[in-house]
Amino acid sequence: ETGVTQTPRHLVMGMTNKKSLKCEQHLGHNAMYWYKQSAKKPLELMFVYNFKEQTENNSVPSRFSPECPNSSHLFLHLHTLQPEDSALYLCASSHAVGETNEKLFFGSGTQLSVL
């Protein structure tokens, strides 16, 4: 166990559905991240929160909406997704963004399929 828990592990949704991914970390970290991993592509950074403030949004479509109510919880709200959004969505945490030798700890991911 890495101390980062993601739910659900698997999610199948239609293009008109609304769903949310949840991430919780028990490591006392101050930074949380959403990454997307599609087949045969590198991990793509989507959003970064540092001390509850969003510090990076890498041109992610508005159908993905993050929420970070506190340093331990991170959500990714999904609505009107497209089939090409099917991927593994990984949450990660670290002590703080950009620290020298910061280390990321990942959750197990949510495997999302959009039909």
Partner 1 sequence: RKEVEQDPGPFNVPEGATVAFNCTYSNSASQSFFWYRQDCRKEPKLLMSVYSSGNEDGRFTAQLNRASQYSSLVIRDSKLSDSATYLCVVNMQAGTALIFGKGTTLSVSS
Give contact residues for partner 1 (rule: CB under 8 A): 2, 31, 33, 35, 40-43, 45, 48, 55-56, 88, 90, 97-98, 100-109, 111
Which residue, 13 or 45, has its beta carbon nearer to partner 1? 45
Structure tokens at 11: 């999610």
DSSP 1: -
Q: Indicate the burial class of 67 (C-beta count within 10 angstroms; 0-12, 13-18, 19 or more).
A: middle
Closest distance between partner 1 and the C-beta of residue 74, in Å?
A: 13
Closest distance between partner 1 and the C-beta of residue 63, in Å?
A: 22
| SS3 state at 83 | helix
Which residue, 42 or 69, has its beta carbon nearer to partner 1? 42
Sign of CA dihedral 104, 108, 111, 112: negative
Closest distance between partner 1 and the C-beta of residue 73, in Å?
A: 18
